[in-house]
Structure 1
Amino acid sequence: MQIYKIFRADEWAAFDSQGETLGAAIDLSDGFIHFSTASQSAETAAKHFAGVEGLMLLAFDADALGEALKWEISRGDALFPHLFRPLKLDEMLWVKPLPFVDGLHQFPADMA
């Protein structure tokens, strides 16, 4: 199963250049890296990135992240994937821009 991480442009640039990350400010504050499933991603973008342009969407294989990935109850009592270790760039399946058009982020049609 693929899971997704949304980064602002500067967060993506730092991850890309350093090869690993502890996540965005909210991740550092919470002590884990927040991910979303395909069905959760649009709501995550609307809630945490409303109006933000220049976002990047990163895809990862949940199983490949190992035992440090925990599924925990969060927004709406849904299970969300949380990673309790640094995320490595070579674990990423792909990265794509997340355009902001007509007030909504436009997610790729091929999200699994």
Structure 2
Amino acid sequence: MLIYKILKPAEWEQWQVEGTFAGSELDQQDGFVHCSTREQVPGTVDRFFEGEDDLVLATLDADELAAHLKWENDFPHVYAALTLEDIVEAAPYEH
């Protein structure tokens, strides 16, 4: 199963430079990396990224992250920093 992390351009750039991503400011406050299913992505974008341009959608393999993945309130949450190797694909988010 695939899950998705929505990133602002600066977050994506930082992840590429550092090789790991411990999450956005909200992720770090909550103690996990918020992700979404494909069906949840549009609602998540509308709720948390209104007015943001150039978002990046990082595709992650839930099976590969299973040791750190918890489903809470029907959303996938990753309790670990993500690495570039965790990414199946990264592409601009198309509204």
- Return the TM-score normalized by structure 2: 0.96
Taking only the aligned residue pairs, the percentage that are identical comes to 38
For 1:67, the equivalent position in structure 2 comes to 67
**Aligned ranges 1:1-112 → 2 under 5 Å:** 1-73=1-73, 79-99=74-94, 106=95
Paired AA for residue 7 in structure 2: F
Between 1 and 2, higher relative CO (CA 8 Å, sep ≥ 6) is seen in 2
Supply the distance in 2 between the matched residues of 1:37 and 1:8 (Cα, whole angstroms).
18
Supply the distance in 2 between the matched residues of 1:85 and 1:98 (Cα, whole angstroms).
24
For 1:109, the equivalent position in structure 2 comes to none
List alignment gaps of at least 5 residues for structure 2. none
Paired AA for residue 17 in structure 2: S
- The count of aligned residue pairs is 95
Aligned residues: CA RMSD: 0.8
List alignment gaps of at least 5 residues for structure 1. 74-78, 100-105, 107-112
Paired AA for residue 65 in structure 2: L
The structure number with the bigger radius of gyration is 1
Supply the distance in 2 between the matched residues of 1:64 and 1:13 (Cα, whole angstroms).
23
Supply the distance in 1 between the matched residues of 2:66 and 2:4 (Cα, whole angstroms).
15
Question: What secondary structure, in the 3-state scheme, does the structure 2 residue paired with 1:63 have?
Answer: coil
- Return the TM-score normalized by structure 1: 0.82
For 1:103, the equivalent position in structure 2 comes to none
Paired AA for residue 91 in structure 2: K
